[in-house]
Structure 1
């Protein structure tokens, strides 16, 4: 204590010496300037990106102002845009676009005729099981019943439960059935959303508001594995939150627990894990992260959007898993997509909470609007009651036994594919696929070459990056006789050919992804993605449909 006292006295004498003989205004001004400088230095040094990353971006931004570089970049981006647009138009046989409303409405017969043509565009026969994920069932009987139930509720809107009480009941039942699946007690609750992205964003919103309003955290941060779905990044951007990505164990592809513990700060408002994660189909160590959440008093969200309607049934299907749901006391919320392995129509998902206190922070309420007290559970106001009804129909159509049977077939097929691919020379399987996704990589050749060749054989696989890989998400369609065998055979044959006859030049996704991963200026990759999104909405190729050739209704509108 004496040493501390001496240090304090010495510090006082030093400060007094610096201020001696100086006017008060100068002392105040120097102190204020020093404080401002220190705050600026702190904010400059401690940002989401390192000083090196920010410096690199500044260099790229300045380089792009050089006319020669700017012109070359614009030229290359234009080529990418044109190429993507041409590919998308080839997929519709370069058919002309409607660019204005018809003068008179079309007849029902003509509408159905045109809609049938639109539905037949495309070269992939998804019904045969050639596509990774995409369509998760396709059963005709299920399609028929969901279509009929949707039709009964086509005009309903869950925003008005007093007008449409039946749809309200259906939605409440969907949420309760899901909470029960994930071993929630009577206090568990949730909401239906339009998809996994909204479910995840809702959880981010709930924990942000809890952190700000209850814990007094001014700048809440999300902490998730680098393999977590991009919806967490979207949520962080939309909600003005910082997101930090935890590295993976390079062997298991699961989140590195030690790194996650080190990265927790006083601003961490949620920990995210996946069951399984999208790129490699691996389940993060949820039980251990649950304990971390309890230790640091941080809520834990389990993203089960992909596997949410497989993992609850795996134990009864003969494939037991470690605990992943509300049986773990640290797990406070779970997202699960009914429109994936729940086999409901696209546009339906569920976010669940351990109890209502968490869900209350998700809600949006404006009590002072002149239009009345406005309150919604999720992002949307008006929503499709038809989707709710069709989702409800899908759940009760399958029942527990139906989901267990589908799960057994899917996991068996996934295991068969993974085991067979491990034996194919030149490629390897990432981690230990535990649910429905098998990710492939190669140390012998560009793995995207395999993807391109598989596309030519009629397959549609997912290309991944960091590290370079491709994957197949196994669905009910892949459990059809012969589909898995054909996939394994094609992968083996193509891999052997690439090893024996290495191509001199690469094109397609092999060139695109190879280039994209090697570009240090990631903003350029973002602009290429803009080209794709712009092309999706283009009507530039093709001519407008001449209205005089269309059949019309005779009745006025």
Structure 2
């Protein structure tokens, strides 16, 4: 053995090996730097370096004893406020932190359920008043009763066992088929159901990563996402080890900047992303231009239509302006669509659609060596609630095309009414040109979060946005009768703040964590900790 090592040292000096390793290391990071420079441009790269240095400096500053002490005090205060808001139960409400020694009677359980139903920061009647942005995608009380009946009938079913529950398999396949047709899928298209938009997006990213790994041998995958794209793409990047390039949107149209997307494409790019529409501002990206890039560079394109769901496909037929977004564009390879939003299905149902069965197979998980047998599942979950699928199927076949068309007319009509009314208020500015159900607005004169606080006093629950600061309302069928009230309340809120002499720089108490804590500090570690405290509080019994 020593002779072999001696021979290797003679023929391949250690210094040479070191040089080879160093050269490979230098080549790798020089290539990364070159791609970054090409993708971001010189000015963009300088801005990225400046931002990184600024974050580093702020991170050091926040680690100083004086800063840490202040931050800990603020986090403790925020935690106390959150617990007071979220865990402040009425004394009359029973707590169950351990199993009761003897089970409650059926009547006692019903009484507890009624008590829980009445326990809310907003009464259920107020939640259904139309003053809540999105959240409750109501298809009507009769439809809710019907979907509840379907849920009850299939409450014990599990799609993991199609041989035992063939009816659930049939319903799931038909749901996917109906949604595929809605988005003009070609022959040979396929899809699957998931627990929500986030899982649908996760599956699209996972599938694109696997396809690039298998077919193109990509080992350092990257995807290009509009800065307004859903946070689920960042979650997917975090979970699946995919680098996420965020691309700014045009400051006027708020559509993703196509030129910036083009510059960022490189051999490691596994996925392009567009929204139809995006969550923050309700703007449909230029999907046609993204499709052209996808075809030219042979890269998959995913369209996030979770929010647009059963609205965007009906825009043209409803008489509203629309833009190309679905499988009729050659470059579109996958689409995520939530059935539990404007499809009025029970919460916990969504779909991920693919141009072909071949693409869909990359999202599957298959284990062939498990002692329990061959295990294969289409998505993240193993066991799934067949009851939700039954409720979804019931909602879709009950509403039908004509029902969804009328719903589109009502909801988009309401959004147009909100947009037109807000445009008449001095100091209020609509963001972009929304075509669907979301209307985002900011203020040129006042702190928009102060306006949000005033609206909260008037019973409204709107979503707070950041970068730039704004508010939005996602219109639903419940919004239709209260459009005029919203416009008037915004007008009154602006007038009240003007009379108080509030300036744009004044602080509002409205936070933004998925719409609820905003900070402009370059280092987001404090915000991250506050968000963690918020999630921890959700599990405090």
TM over 0.5: yes
**Is the 8 Å Cα contact of residues 446 and 510 (structure 1) preserved in structure 2?**
no
Give the paired residue count: 515
1:474 is displaced (CA, Å) by 0.2
Q: Larger C-alpha radius of gyration, 1 or 2?
A: 1
Distance 1:243 1:380 in 2: 24
The one-character-per-residue Cα deviations of 1:21-48 (angstroms, maximum 9, x if unpaired) are: xx98485266357537736864996899
1:344 touches 1:391 (CA, 8 Å); kept in 2?
A: yes
- 1:26-425 equivalences in 2 (<5 Å): 28=16, 31-32=19-20, 34-35=22-23, 38=26, 42=30, 50-90=48-88, 95=93, 97-124=95-122, 125-137=126-138, 139-425=140-426
Task: Report if aligned partners of 2:466, 2:512 keep a CA contact under 8 Å in 1.
Answer: no
Does the CA-based 8 Å contact 2:132-2:462 persist in structure 1? yes
Q: How far apart, CA to CA, are the structure 1 residues paired with 2:257 and 2:370?
A: 47
CA distances 1:232-251 after superposition (whole Å, capped 9, x unpaired): 11011000110111110000
Q: 1:26 to 1:370 in 2, by over 3 A?
A: closer
Q: Secondary structure of the equivalent of 1:398?
A: helix
Q: Equivalents in 1 of 2:183, 2:21: separation in Å?
A: 57
CA apart distance, 1:140: 1.1
Counterpart of 2:478 in 1: which secondary structure?
Answer: helix
Q: Secondary structure at the match of 2:510?
A: helix
**Long gaps (5+) in structure 2:** 1-10, 37-44
Cα distance in 1 for residues equivalent to 2:54 and 2:490: 40
Q: Give the stretch that moved more between structures: 468-477 or 138-147.
A: 138-147
Secondary structure at the counterpart of residue 163 of structure 2: coil
1:69 positional shift: 2.2
The answer on whether the counterparts of 2:446 and 2:502 sit within 8 Å (CA) in structure 1 is no
Structure 2 distance, partners of 1:234, 1:282, is: 22
Following the alignment from structure 1 to structure 2, what is the Cα–Cα distance between the partners of residues 373 and 342? 35
Pick closer, same or farther for the CA change 1:323–1:518 going to 2, 3 Å: closer
**Between 292-301 and 61-70, the greater mean CA deviation after superposition:** 61-70
Q: 1:516 to 1:417 in 2, by over 3 A?
A: closer
Give the distance between the partners of 1:263 and 1:43, measured in 2 at CA: 13
Unaligned runs of 5+ in 1: 1-22, 540-557
State the 1:323 CA deviation: 1.7
Supply the distance in 2 between the matched residues of 1:164 and 1:175 (Cα, whole angstroms): 17
Q: How far apart are the structure 2 equivalents of 1:174 and 1:184?
A: 14
- Deviation track 1:201-253 (CA, whole Å, cap 9, x = no partner) reads 00001100000100111111111100000011101100011011111000011
Q: What CA deviation, in whole Å up to 9, does each residue of 1:448-493 have, x standing for no partner?
A: 011111111001100000000000000010113xx11111110111
TM-score after normalising by structure 2: 0.90
How many Å apart are 1:324 and its aligned residue?
1.1
Give, in angstroms, the shift of residue 534 of structure 1. Answer: 1.2
How many Å apart are 1:56 and its aligned residue?
3.8
Structure 2: distance between partners of 1:128 and 1:24: 78
